[in-house]
Amino acid sequence: MDTKAEIRTLQHFIGGEWVDAEDGGLFDVVNPLDDSLYARAAKGTGNDVRRAVAAAKSAFPEYRETLPKDRERWLLRVAEIMEERKAELFDCLIDEIGSPIQKAMFEYEKGLTMVRAAAGMCRKVRGETYPSDAPGKFSMSIREPRGVVAVITPFNVPLIKTARLVANALAVGNTVVHLPSEMAPHLTVLFAEIVAEAGFPAGAYNVVTGIGHEIGDDLTGHKDVDFVTFTGSSVVGQHIAEICARNKTPNTLELGGKSPTVILADADLDKAVPMAARSIFMFAGQACIGSSRFYVERPLYDEFVKRFAMVASKVGMGDLRDPETVIAPIISERQRKRVRDHIADAVAKGATVVTGGEWIGNRCQPTLLTDVTEEMTVCKTETFGPVTSIYPIDSYEEGLEKANDTEYGLSSAIFTKDINRAFHFARNIGAGMCHINGATIHDEAHVPFGGNGESGVGREGTDADLEAMTELKWVTVQL
């Protein structure tokens, strides 16, 4: 049975209208499983971006005055419609970016939770009062929405990122211009349909589809954009940070990772091995918080490698709609080449492929490497595939030192029964997130999610976004 939807032509959503690119241009979106045509999308131009920013700017004065009870209602309605259109969202996550159904379900549930959590933010936009040294002066702060928020999202978790960042920005009274990944525009177009149906005023949420490196600067560098939230690679993040610095545009950057997991000699391998597999094989390692480095204390090293390899060799690579399937296709030929090159470079320089390393179509087998050295690209650079390296360590201290030997700082994990070491690790790892006896892959709507160094600046989540996406104003009244 052909489960593919008909080929859709996707338009921009600007000022409440569905519109073509100004010059009628389109680009192809392909299904990464077999490179077949999945959809055609409006190929946005600089003028399309400017149209969208103008729409968001002109909608802002009225939108910021909307009542919390209305924004809350619209967001809860978004969640309801997401439930009604669940099957469509699943199909999109499977056929547009190659999510196995297991990952699509995970992403859908997270996205739904994030929209509902955002609804709760509407009533939390509040300030404080301050004592004043000036007699008779009443002193307070108020929080105000910033204005037009530019949201730029990656291909790998388009629903989580769209649901969280768009919903959080709208919850606190901003209007939004969203540039989704050119590899995942349909998911965002579906979200825009849902937002429109939920009752949000025209111009509150605008979507321009297009090629990020062609029109991204028109968005991030626009003088009427008041906040930028970007999720993607560190290279593009650096570029955006420079543009934002020139314009003094506040921003959050959620970038790449090389997240470590340390496994000490007292760890429970029955728990650590399945968590290790989850940490790197979910969506075939195309996760910023995937664990691409494992440091295992010597007494457990051989046993860990043996058990991890056994699990890795059995990870499901079947039909994407089979609940047992874990391994996704790698998103694009450019990314496939990167994964192939990282493995080939490691092998050429003396690494051992314990399991995996082969490809079935566009899918790379779960791959475990040992004997990895610093000269190998895979040692310190993000691969973004189902590939991880396992290193022996002689002590906890060595594990911590090696785990910190990176320019990234996103997620991290430690497996041990020693509460003192676990907390010492949590306090001293140079990462934004640390999971004790858990996988590096974990996210929730209200937690401070994000990283340091090459992994980014700022945090996401309801509380963090509330602070980042609003501006504090100090107000006094002389009584």
- Active-site positions read 254
Contact between 175 and 60 under an 8 Å Cβ cutoff? The reply is yes
Q: Which residue from 168, 228, 158, 215 is spatially nearest to 190, judged by alpha carbons?
A: 158
Question: For residues 212 and 357, which CB has a smaller minimum distance to ligand NAD in the complex?
Answer: 212
- Encoded one letter per residue, x for contact with ligand NAD by CB under 6 A and - for no contact, window 9-48 reads ----------------------------------------
Task: Please report, as residue ranges, which positions from 156 to 175 form the binding site for ligand NAD (by CB under 6 A).
Answer: 156-157
> What's the residue count for the chain?
479
Distance (Å, rounded) from C-alpha 31 to C-alpha 36? 5
Cβ 258 to ligand NAD shortest distance, Å: 9
- Encoded one letter per residue, x for contact with ligand NAD by CB under 6 A and - for no contact, window 402-431 reads --------x---------------------
Which of these segments, 57-65, 151-159, 190-198, 199-207, binds ligand NAD (CB under 6 A)?
Answer: 151-159
Place of tokens 């609804």: 119
Q: How many CB atoms lie within 10 A of CB 438?
A: 17
456-457 and 435-436 as β-strands: parallel, antiparallel, unpaired? unpaired
- Encoded one letter per residue, x for contact with ligand NAD by CB under 6 A and - for no contact, window 229-248 reads --xxx--x--xx--------
Residue 154 binds to ligand NAD (criterion: CB under 6 A): yes
Q: Give helix then strand counts, H and E, for the chain.
A: 15, 23
Question: For residues 209 and 416, which CB has a smaller minimum distance to ligand NAD in the complex?
Answer: 209
Question: For residues 48 and 297, which CB has a smaller minimum distance to ligand NAD in the complex?
Answer: 48
Question: For residues 180 and 260, which CB has a smaller minimum distance to ligand NAD in the complex?
Answer: 180
Q: Which residue from 236, 286, 295 is spatially nearest to 415, judged by alpha carbons?
A: 295
- The residue within the footprint of ligand NAD, chosen from 147, 212, 357, 458 (CB under 6 A), is 212
Question: Contacts for 275-280 with beta carbons within 8 Å, 24 or more apart?
Answer: 275/413, 275/415, 275/437, 275/438, 275/439, 276/304, 276/308, 276/311, 276/439, 277/308, 277/311, 277/312, 277/315, 277/366, 278/439, 278/441, 279/413, 279/439, 279/440, 279/441, 280/366, 280/386, 280/387, 280/388
Cβ 325 to ligand NAD shortest distance, Å: 21
Question: For residues 349 and 442, which CB has a smaller minimum distance to ligand NAD in the complex?
Answer: 442
Task: Please report, as residue ranges, which positions from 445 to 464 form the binding site for ligand NAD (by CB under 6 A).
Answer: 451, 456
Q: Which residue from 335, 14, 50, 69 is spatially nearest to 206, judged by alpha carbons?
A: 14
> Would you tell me which residues interact with ligand NAD (CB under 6 A)?
152-157, 179-182, 212-213, 216-217, 220, 231-233, 236, 239-240, 254-257, 288, 382, 384, 410, 451, 456
